[in-house]
Amino acid sequence: MDFAAQYSLTDDLDWVDEILLAGPATDVCFRLPDPLDRGTLRRLVGEAQARLAAAGLRPGGAVALRLPPSVAYVVNLLAAWRSGAQAILLDHRLTDHEVAGALERLTPQVVVAPQRRGTGALKIFVDVTEGVTAYSDRPAGSPHAVIQLSSGSTGPAKVIGRSAASLVAEVRRYTRIDGVALPGERIILLPSMVHVLGLVGGLLYGLHAGVTLVPPARLSGDAVLASIAADDSPATVLGVPFHIGLLASTRAAGPLPQLKRMTTGGELVPAAVVAAFTDRFGVPLGNMYGMTEVGVIGTDLHGRHRPSIAPAPGIEVRQSAAGELWVSCSESPYVGFSDPDRWADGWLHTRDAGTVDPDTGLVTVRGRLDSQVSVGGMKVDLTEVEATLAGLPGVGAAVVIFDDGITAYVQPEAELSAETLERLLAERLAGYKRPRTLRLLDRLPRTTTGKLVRSTEALRAAAP
């Protein structure tokens, strides 16, 4: 198949200029903390295109980006798309072994990786000098604009592809969601731009809508609050539940009238955490539900429907007879993977249990479909057990799985014993719902996007 021809037939190669880079040259798109305007960004993208072409990239080929969040990452990503090529996004935290396996499978024409990077392990945006290396002479293995690896929170990562048309549709979908940052405002950007929330909800939407993207100087509560206070324009903090703790544990030096809201993707935030955040800052803590395969699925950015969300504009959510949430998806997002239990007939099977209210259309996510287990003939929802554990005083995070019985892995945030946990759980859960085994860990394993890992093998390995 001539993928170069297919790109030109299915994807308008001007979409980067028209959707992402358009606008006055003097408009500021990043503050790092120095401003980076659109004119400079367009120039840098053009220079990167020339480097990629010199290294062997051709339309219909692929570029593997193994870069930390940085100007270099943004520039090379846009340059790849502007060249009519596919961008393969490899989290910079992957090991050499993991990267080698991905490259062998995906065979990009060019690999972009750091030659030199600035110091500071906690910096959100890194000063990187990239190196461009030829890898193969093969065309891309699929006609997608972007290839991502799933977070792998419940098992091995999947290879997921999305077309330029899908990305553009999602960017436009964001413009219709009530509560997103508006033109002239700022997004305090905390999640990685390698993964879908930071990539589309942060980078691509911000460039399209004229919202200034502000990665704080460091991944700390003080740095995030300083970024909010550094400008008079309204600011939305975009992150994952892990980042809430950074803010909840930090006292602002003074009022923060610029703070508009915080929006998180990923796991549902416990009610106690929501209350603590809103009491502390007096602004909504919004929730987004999405998947790498399709991007944003639903939102509750004003915190009105918690724990439910409203489907994003243009997205249809259906509840299957088995209680699984299905999401409209016109074509399979999986590359080299065909499984009708994951996608069939225009519907992505999320593997999440949930309900869709027939009157309001609101969607309530109940947790993973496999969280429903039978104990002595009684049905137990592990999501309920996990939520109860996570809401106990002294518990920082918890994961509950079924491993020859209900097993709970708990990360304390203060002095906490298994005996205390058992006593508190006995007051809140029926005996058949309570974990048979409690394991206390200094730190629960998480994916590169900050999600709690739910793989039985990984949790066993992490337990003392």
Sequence ranges of the domains in the chain:
3-162, 166-300, 316-369, 376-462
CB-based contacts of 336: which residues, under 8 Å, 6+ apart?
Answer: 105, 141, 159
Note whether 124 and 92 are within 8 A (CB): no
- Euclidean distance between the first and the last CA atom of the chain, given in angstroms as a whole number: 51
Q: How many helices (H) does the chain have, and how many strands (E)?
A: 14, 25
pTM value is: 0.84
* Residue located via tokens 């550094």: 230
What is the amino acid identity at position 121?
A
Please indicate whether the domains covering 166-300 and 316-369 agree at the CATH topology level: no
- What was the pLDDT predicted at 116? 77
CATH fold for the domain made of 376-462: GMP Synthetase; Chain A, domain 3 (3.30.300)
Give tens-digit pLDDT for 93-132. Answer: 888 888 898 899 999 999 999 987 665 556 788 888 999 9
- What was the pLDDT predicted at 377? 66
Domain 166-300 has CATH 3.40.50.980: yes
Note whether 365 and 352 are within 8 A (CB): yes
- What was the pLDDT predicted at 45? 98
- What was the pLDDT predicted at 119? 57
Spatial distance between the Cα atoms of 143 and 164, rounded to a whole number of angstroms: 10
- What was the pLDDT predicted at 151? 55
Structure-token pair, residue 357: 């209210």
Give tens-digit pLDDT for 236-276. Answer: 999 988 888 788 778 877 789 999 999 998 777 777 788 88
- What was the pLDDT predicted at 107? 95
Residue 228: how many other CB atoms lie within 10 Å: 24
- What was the pLDDT predicted at 46? 97
Q: How many Cα neighbours within 13 Å face the side chain of 182?
A: 5
What is the amino acid identity at position 179?
G
How do the pLDDT tens digits run along the chain, 464 residues long? 343 334 432 345 689 999 999 999 999 999 998 999 999 999 999 999 999 999 999 999 999 999 999 999 999 999 999 999 999 999 888 888 888 988 999 999 999 999 876 655 567 888 889 999 999 999 999 999 999 987 554 445 688 999 999 999 999 999 999 999 999 999 999 999 998 999 999 999 999 999 999 999 888 889 999 999 999 999 999 998 888 878 877 887 778 999 999 999 877 777 778 888 888 899 999 999 999 999 999 999 999 998 899 999 999 999 999 899 999 999 999 998 767 888 999 999 998 989 999 999 999 998 777 777 878 667 788 888 888 898 888 898 899 988 888 999 999 987 888 899 999 999 988 888 999 999 999 999 987 667 788 888 889 988 87
CATH fold for the domain made of 316-369: Luciferase; domain 3 (2.30.38)
- What was the pLDDT predicted at 28? 97
**3-162 sits in which CATH class?**
alpha beta
